[in-house]
Chains A and B, each alone.
Chain A
Amino acid sequence: MLEAIDAGLTIGRARLLDGVTAAVRPGRVLAILGPNGAGKSTLLSLLSGERRPTAGRVLLDGVAMSAIPAPRLAVRRALVAQHQAVAFAFSVEEVMELATEPWLIRPGDRRALIADCLIRAGAGGLAGRLMPQLSGGERQRVAFARALAQLAAGRHGHDVAGPSYLLLDEPTASLDPAHQHHLLRAARDWVERTGGGCAVILHDLTLAARYADDGLLLAGGRVAWAGSMSGLPVPVLERVFGTAFVRLDLPEAEGVVYAATGRAAASGKMICE
């Protein structure tokens, strides 16, 4: 299990996270929800081991993330960041090879693995392109494929103790609706196939309800609500986002649909500090 226990992060005077307890469980998808600036990305950077909490702990199978060396972490977790910086004109193929390179894999297996991950991410047609020439959405799909490849390559022909974790920071932000569903379905499929755990930051509550098992709602760096996605209470949403929500059970949409109405919430203003 990948978990934050009472974790806090304070930089200078800014308290970005405060007493957050969250768990990414094997075989489950956790949706991290909340308004802009609530600390969602910060929580993900703690869970990835990129930042260390200034209070509390972040543990992978009971071991502090900071105690695990970077190469070993790379097999156990991958993160898809919100923005993909590109300073040099690497091709998609080169980026994918780089992600799988630390591990000894036969060239044929490597090529197959890379092609498989690209197709799973809906980026199969992008293999021969240069990163700087891709659109934002295309880059996001490649980044997702790279994360899949990184985790798959680490396990290829090696015994790795414990499941892996896939951390996605708004992976659907620049994707069209079809690709949004495709990517989240691929994440879900990865969880079921590998027995790993996935944490995903989403703004679209309908997508979250559809693809996530558990939910964590952050507001002002604190946990406003945590539980099973099916039990996400509308009054809490309205309180946290400061706008009225409608929740519909739509069989045509294969589940629940959340819509923000844009009207002031009945329960009043936002409570985020």
Chain B
Amino acid sequence: MSLTLSMPSSRKGDGAAPSFRRPPLVPVLAALAVALALAVLMAIATGGVSVPLDRSLSHLASLLGLPGTPLSERDWMVLTMLRLPRIVLAAAVGVTLGVAGVALQAVFRNPLADPGLVGVSSGAALAGSAAMVLGVSGLGLARSGLSLATVLPLAAFLGALAATVLILAISRRDGRNAPATMLLAGIAVNAMGGAGIGLFSYLGDDLALRQMTFWMMGGFGGSGWAQIGPAMLLMGLATAGLLAGARRLDLFAMGEREAFLQGLDPHRFAVRTVLLVALGVGAAVAVSGLIGFVGLIVPHVMRILLGPVHSRLMPATALAAAVLLVLADTVARTIAAPADVPAGLLLGAVGGPFFLWLLRRRSGGLGGA
């Protein structure tokens, strides 16, 4: 039978609607990379101790044997031991939370899923505060020789994992995720996490309490290279794993049934993705506390700009989230210098209203996914 017999003629819509094109990825990535470089340079130059860029460059030149003046011992220490690890950490946490947010949104098939909102971060924070208050010996690991810097990310990972599995189990019915149920389950998990954290702050001594409180407000201060090392490794692994699954996330985002019909084992893939998200978020929370809304705001803006295809969305989100957190941290360091405002509080102040706007904007509210 021939196809040319009767082709229904084009009518309303067909061809008449403006055919649209997504913007090309490479220029967007290049622009974001430049923005990240500028943000990092600015972050290096500003802070309680101001070290203008030309002096840093002059120092670098002198190191390379070119004419230049080396920095004072104190400035050099401030830059390499305090400021740089902080900037690197902020960027890494941005990358991790941004990519984890995108992955979670695909798994829940809901653009409102965010590690903070659905309780993944809060599970990590609960397990982390337990590790802080009880200490390495309190967890029965005294003889393992592990330091708190290693135990904390692991504990946070387990906490994040438990919370994610709980939320998935509650919000999934017949292989489908009900968006409203997911957010409500997130509220419940957040509340339980809060209660548990309250319990540990009650049990902890003054020092542990103070440490915990500042940790949970979210920020990048006070960590040297040694403290952030293990967490950086875990965040790198999780992010690489999630990026490698970009194409399968596309399939998954179409629906579990569709994904299976097109050749994906959706159950195995969901488990793998959730594990990687928990690993990345757990490690991020361990070193920087609760940094909310990054995984929500940045993917949302990037999705508007580049569309939902994950091989495009994830790298752009990673870079943009790194820019956002490096900038947020720079503001946090300088806005009330010499005091160090927790960057997590700043982001909450911006992210909360953004989330409300998002809820208003989405047609159909919670169920509109």
**Hey, which bits of chain A sit against chain B, CB under 8 A?**
48, 50, 69-75, 78-79, 81, 85, 87-91, 94-95, 98-99, 101-102, 119-120, 122, 125-130, 133, 135, 138, 150, 176, 178-179, 181-182, 185-186, 188-189, 192
Decide: B109 and A87 in contact? CB cutoff 8 A: yes
Report Cα–Cα, A94/B307, bound state, in Å: 10
Q: Is the interface of A mostly helix, strand, loop or mixed?
A: helix
**What's the least CB distance linking B263 to chain A, in Å?**
3
Decide: A122 and B265 in contact? CB cutoff 8 A: no
Q: Which residues of A contact B3 (CB under 8 A)?
A: 119-120, 185-186, 189
CB-based closest 10 A-B pairs: A128-B19, A74-B263, A125-B14, A88-B308, A125-B15, A178-B8, A71-B263, A87-B109, A85-B255, A70-B265
Decide: A91 and B5 in contact? CB cutoff 8 A: no
Q: Which residues of A contact B307 (CB under 8 A)?
A: 89-91, 94
Report Cα–Cα, A128/B8, bound state, in Å: 19
Report Cα–Cα, A90/B109, bound state, in Å: 13
Starting from the known contacts A120-B3, A178-B8, 14 additional A-B residue pairs (CB-CB under 8 Å) come to A50-B257, A69-B265, A70-B260, A71-B263, A78-B261, A79-B261, A87-B255, A87-B369, A94-B307, A98-B250, A99-B262, A129-B13, A176-B8, A179-B8
Q: Which residues of B contact A78 (CB under 8 A)?
A: 261
Chain A's closest residue to B264 (CB) is A70
Report Cα–Cα, A90/B312, bound state, in Å: 12
Chain B's closest residue to A99 (CB) is B262
Report Cα–Cα, A71/B266, bound state, in Å: 11
Chain B's closest residue to A191 (CB) is B1
Decide: A178 and B19 in contact? CB cutoff 8 A: no
Decide: A88 and B303 in contact? CB cutoff 8 A: yes
Evaluate whether A129 and B262 lie within 8 angstroms (CB atoms) in the complex, with A88-B111, A89-B307 already known. no
**What's the least CB distance linking A85 to chain B, in Å?**
5
Q: Of A87, A91, A188, which contacts B20 at CB under 8 A?
A: A91
Decide: B6 and A182 in contact? CB cutoff 8 A: yes
Q: Does B271 have its Cβ within 8 Å of any Cβ on chain A?
A: no
- Those of B30-61 within 8 Å (CB) of chain A: none
- Those of B344-360 within 8 Å (CB) of chain A: none
Q: Which residues of B contact A102 (CB under 8 A)?
A: 247, 262-263
Decide: B10 and A125 in contact? CB cutoff 8 A: yes
Chain B's closest residue to A72 (CB) is B263
Report Cα–Cα, A74/B8, bound state, in Å: 30
Decide: A98 and B109 in contact? CB cutoff 8 A: no
Report Cα–Cα, A144/B303, bound state, in Å: 26
**What's the least CB distance linking A7 to chain B, in Å?**
19
Q: Does B117 have its Cβ within 8 Å of any Cβ on chain A?
A: no
**What's the least CB distance linking B17 to chain A, in Å?**
6
**What's the least CB distance linking B141 to chain A, in Å?**
41
Q: Which residues of A contact B19 (CB under 8 A)?
A: 127-129
Chain A's closest residue to B5 (CB) is A185
Q: Of B7, B10, B13, B262, which contacts A135 at CB under 8 A?
A: B13
Q: Of A69, A71, A90, A129, which contacts B254 at CB under 8 A?
A: A90
Q: Which residues of B contact A81 (CB under 8 A)?
A: 257-258
Report Cα–Cα, A75/B20, bound state, in Å: 31
Chain B's closest residue to A177 (CB) is B8
Report Cα–Cα, A176/B26, bound state, in Å: 42
Decide: A182 and B263 in contact? CB cutoff 8 A: no
Q: Of B10, B262, B369, which contacts A98 at CB under 8 A?
A: B262
Q: Which residues of B contact A179 (CB under 8 A)?
A: 8
Q: Which residues of B contact A125 (CB under 8 A)?
A: 10, 13-15
Q: Does B251 have its Cβ within 8 Å of any Cβ on chain A?
A: yes
Q: Of B7, B110, B257, which contacts A182 at CB under 8 A?
A: B7
Report Cα–Cα, A128/B13, bound state, in Å: 11
Report Cα–Cα, A73/B309, bound state, in Å: 24
**What's the least CB distance linking B178 to chain A, in Å?**
12
Chain B's closest residue to A120 (CB) is B3
**What's the least CB distance linking B288 to chain A, in Å?**
29
Chain B's closest residue to A186 (CB) is B3
Decide: A129 and B247 in contact? CB cutoff 8 A: no
Decide: A98 and B257 in contact? CB cutoff 8 A: no
Decide: B17 and A98 in contact? CB cutoff 8 A: no
Decide: B111 and A150 in contact? CB cutoff 8 A: no
Report Cα–Cα, A120/B307, bound state, in Å: 27
**What's the least CB distance linking B13 to chain A, in Å?**
7
Q: Does B173 have its Cβ within 8 Å of any Cβ on chain A?
A: no
**What's the least CB distance linking B317 to chain A, in Å?**
14
Report Cα–Cα, A189/B5, bound state, in Å: 12
Q: Does B361 have its Cβ within 8 Å of any Cβ on chain A?
A: no
Q: Which residues of A contact B5 (CB under 8 A)?
A: 185
Q: Which residues of B contact A120 (CB under 8 A)?
A: 3
Q: Does B242 have its Cβ within 8 Å of any Cβ on chain A?
A: no
Q: Does B22 have its Cβ within 8 Å of any Cβ on chain A?
A: yes
Report Cα–Cα, A159/B160, bound state, in Å: 45
Q: Which residues of B contact A69 (CB under 8 A)?
A: 265
**What's the least CB distance linking A72 to chain B, in Å?**
8
Q: Does B97 have its Cβ within 8 Å of any Cβ on chain A?
A: no
**What's the least CB distance linking B151 to chain A, in Å?**
38
Evaluate whether A74 and B303 lie within 8 angstroms (CB atoms) in the complex, with A122-B8, A135-B13, A138-B13 already known. no
Q: Of B1, B261, B262, which contacts A188 at CB under 8 A?
A: B1
Q: Which residues of B contact A135 (CB under 8 A)?
A: 13
Q: Does B131 have its Cβ within 8 Å of any Cβ on chain A?
A: no
